[in-house]
Structure formats: structure tokens, C-alpha cells
Amino acid sequence: MVRVSVSLPEELAQGLDEMLKAKGAASRSALVADLVREATVEHQSRRGRRAIAGTITLVYDHHQRNLQSKLTDIQHGAEGLIVSVMHVHLNHHDCLEVLVVRGVARKVRALADQLAAVRGVRHAKLTITTTERR
């Protein structure tokens, strides 16, 4: 363990304490460690050759012409990156798809960007984690 001292403006410290209570974290130190870990994983994943795992979440109107066909074509072209797909009908028009992905960061990010760019996709988000042991 390494001890690090951090000075924060009062309003930021209050926000940290509110987050601490809401998340039920054991301490400020534990919460800050979690936040730094999350930021570190995100930062490291931006290096193109690092292996990452995560999810791509899509929300779209399945009535949009050729949308599902385009998404399927892109997914079939992403051989080796997609581990699993879950499809949920949210209502009469909207679908939610969650793709579990694993691979080289730049390829996973390119896939997420390609899916997000399809006309009719209302929301797309890549959430990542690392595959490396610490």
C-alpha cells in the first residue's frame, strides 16, 4: 500500500462524501481507489494494442428500414471480437442490444464507433474493463 494525500476544494470533498454514502463505500480511500482504478483502466484502454473486454450497448428503433440488417452485417464482420449478444424488446418500437466484446482496444473501439454511426441507432455506449491481471 502507498499512502497518498490529496487536497480538494470543499465542494468537491462534499461531493465525494455524498458519493461515499450513496455507494456505501468503506472509506474515502476505498472510494478514491475505485475511481482511480476506473480512470486508469479507461486511460490504458486508449492504447491501441492493449487487450480489453467490455460491452457495447445499443438502443434503436427496429422499425427503421434496413437497420437490423446493417447491424447484423457489422457484427458478422467483427469476427473474434463479439463474445455474446443479448437482444431485448423495450417497447413496440425500441430494442436494446448488449454486445459482450473482447479484443484489441483499437478494434473494439472501431466496432463500437461503426455500430453507433448506423442511422437509426439512438444511443450507443462502449463500457470497458481490462483483461490484464494486476
Q: How many structural domains are present in the chain?
A: 2
Are 29 and 85 members of one domain?
no
Nearest CA to 47 out of 100, 105, 90 is that of 105
Give the range of the structural domain holding residue 125, as residue numbers without chain letter.
Answer: 51-130
Are 91 and 120 members of one domain?
yes
Say if 34 falls within a structural domain: yes
Are 64 and 31 members of one domain?
no
In angstroms, the CA 27 to CA 24 distance is 9
The pTM of this model reads 0.74
Say if 116 falls within a structural domain: yes
pLDDT digits (tens, 9 = 90+) for 31-90: 998 888 888 777 766 666 788 899 999 999 989 999 999 999 999 999 899 999 999 999
Are 80 and 111 members of one domain?
yes
Nearest CA to 78 out of 101, 62, 57 is that of 101
